[in-house]
Amino acid sequence: MPRPTGRVLTLLELLQSGGTRTVAELAERLGVEGRTVRRYVDQLIDLDVPVESVRGRYGGYRLAPGYRLPPLMLSDDEALAVLLGLIAGRRAGLTTTERTANETASAKIRRVLPKHIARRLDALLESLAFTDQPGEPDHPDAGVLLTLADAVRHRRPVSIRYTDRDGRRSERTLHAYGIVAHAGRWYVTGEDAGIGEDRTFRLDRIAAARALPGSFEVPAGPGPAQRVLSGFATAEYRHEVTLRIHGTAEQIRAHLPAGVASLEEHEPAAGEDRAAERWLRVELRVERLDWLPRTLAALDRPFVIERPDELRDLVVGLADRLASCARRPDGEEPVS
């Protein structure tokens, strides 16, 4: 690469790092005179790179937002970080309906990676494993996602066209508190202004979103992520489960997180340690009960099942199977 061309690319990389760069600073970094810096800037402008001139005592040059991205100059570590982010986002399902954008961006970066970095990336991907195996995620529309994000930032009402899980369509006015990514899906949570109650909506079920005039105040209380998890824990399901578990909140949450169960914590009595083990009430709403006995066994804390009776039967059945497996092969009872 001719030396002047290399300096022009270095100038672009310096400007892409952000802020305004003075002519003196750029000249020192490039090892040239000020008038040469101005000539390099003219070459970038001829290539449609949006370089702005900033006047004043602290003036110089900076990149302006353009209709299209200028050529990006990424270091090896930066390119690797972007690629891993794209791969992780696709693996977690946190992409929009334009899935090809993720794939083409990855392909473009991989195409220009130095061979030694590309080989190391391939080695990493071959050795990388994920602990979860989510199903095929549903992807939100990019326009809907950006409209809702703008409504959250500026506290503006937004009109959405929504289809619920039963196929019913409706148009609602939403005061959106925040957008939450959870378990491979996108959610927006806020107040449904038509009924005056907080609701959580899946973004892939929103067909259209349109900003409305006006503004609103976000009420005090839990953040958007906690609101979504609490909504999951209190949603209507086939079985309502109530337990009393003796332990600390931390011990219980390790096996029954906020997105699964609600935990009723009482203020400790005078002189009682807040972190001490005590009986806590736990409530769940679930479609199936078969996984709960194993979870309660893994919890390894004393517990009482208040409801339903079916769960008691499942726990007794698991205990019988474990006791049967623990007997000696010859049928003799172990000597105490």
So what's the pLDDT on residue 236? 61
Q: How many CB atoms lie within 10 A of CB 240?
A: 12
Contact between 70 and 56 (Cβ < 8 Å): no
Whether residue 51 sits in one domain with residue 101? no
Overall domain count for the chain: 4
Is residue 156 domain-shared with residue 211, that is, in the same domain?
A: yes
Whether residue 41 is found in the same domain as residue 90: no
Low-confidence winner among 6-20, 104-118, 312-326 (lowest mean pLDDT): 104-118
Residue 100 has pLDDT above 70, yes or no: no
User: Is residue 13 in a domain?
Assistant: yes
SS3 state at 159: strand
**Does residue 95 sit in the same domain as residue 55?**
no
Judge whether 70 lies within some domain.
Answer: no
132 lies in a domain? no
Return d(Cα 301, Cα 278) in angstroms, integer.
11
Residue 313, in any domain of the structure: yes
149-188 tens-digit pLDDT: 889 999 999 999 999 877 889 999 999 998 888 766 788 9
Is residue 181 located within the same domain as residue 105? no
- Establish if 41 belongs to a structural domain: yes
Judge whether 19 lies within some domain: yes
133 lies in some domain: no
| Domain contains 292 | yes
Model pTM? 0.51
CATH of the domain at 211: 2.30.30.520
Query: Which tokens go with 277?
Result: 């083990």
Q: How confident is the model at residue 270 (pLDDT cuts 50, 70, 90)?
A: low
Q: 302 or 185: which carries more pLDDT confidence? A: 302
What is the CATH classification number for the domain harbouring 46?
1.10.10.10
Range of the domain at 97: 78-127
What are the C-alpha distances in Å from 106 to residues 82, 88, 114, 127, 141? 8, 12, 14, 19, 20
CATH number of the domain at 290, please. 3.30.70
The HSE-up count of residue 297 (CA atoms within 13 Å, CB side) is 16
